[in-house]
Amino acid sequence: MEFVKRKFIKIIGISIISTILLPFTILKASTKKIINPNLSKKQKNIMFKEGTERPFSSKLLNEKRRGFYHCANCGAKLFASTSKFDSGTGWPSFTEALPGAFKTKTDYSFGMKRIEYHCATCGAHHGHVFDDGPTESRKRFCSNGLCLIFKPE
């Protein structure tokens, strides 16, 4: 009986905590916002509805100059050109992101478990990161080129 009572208190406790935290969860979701008013429909679809651009459609695929890749929405610096490599997948790929550039989330859509990454500054979705990269870190950031703006050095 004592055990049941304790379990009941625990459940009540969890629901109270979730109720208290709910506004914060909503607040967190609303940090995802459109900063650049000139984003195209395609860009918005990727960045805010977690869409994906067509493979081999990005003009950044053949970009080989030195410089940095910035968020198309907020302008945050995300990748250095030195981490870019040709993965053959048809999406601009990077072995690592700049420190603190992204936050990640596990994505279970399409029956797959993937790690989604989004801009730490504006929350916009950029792509998925996989563990089959060519360097020691094994990371492969599979990016949507439409979310990136390249600025040569």
Q: Is 119 in the site for Zn ion (CB under 5 A)?
A: yes
Distance, CA of 85 to CA of 94 (rounded, Å): 6
Q: Residue 146's CB: how many other CB atoms inside 10 A?
A: 25
- Decide whether 39 or 71 has the Cβ nearer to Zn ion: 71
Residue number, 35 or 115, with CB nearest to Zn ion: 35
Among 46, 47, 71, 129, binds Zn ion (CB under 5 A): 71
Q: Closest approach of Cβ 76 to Zn ion, in Å?
A: 5
- Report if residue 121 touches Zn ion, rule: CB under 5 A: yes
Three-state secondary structure call for residue 67: strand
What is the residue whose two structure tokens read 């801009």?
119
How far is it, in rounded angstroms, from Cα 121 to Cα 56? 27
Q: How far is the CB of 122 from Zn ion (least distance, A)?
A: 3
The answer to whether 119 is a known catalytic residue is no
b/e map 4-24, b = 16+ CB within 10 Å: eeeeeeeeeeeeeeeeeeeee
Report the 3 state secondary structure along 96-113.
Answer: CCCCCCEEEEEECHHHCC
**Which of 39, 61, 101, 122 is in the footprint of Zn ion by CB under 5 A?**
122
Q: Is 73 in the site for Zn ion (CB under 5 A)?
A: yes
Near Zn ion by CB under 5 A, which window of 17-25, 48-56, 101-109, 111-119? 111-119
* Site size toward Zn ion, by CB under 5 A: 8
Instruction: Cite the active site residues.
Output: 142
Residues engaged in binding Zn ion (CB under 5 A): 71, 73-74, 76, 119, 121-122, 124
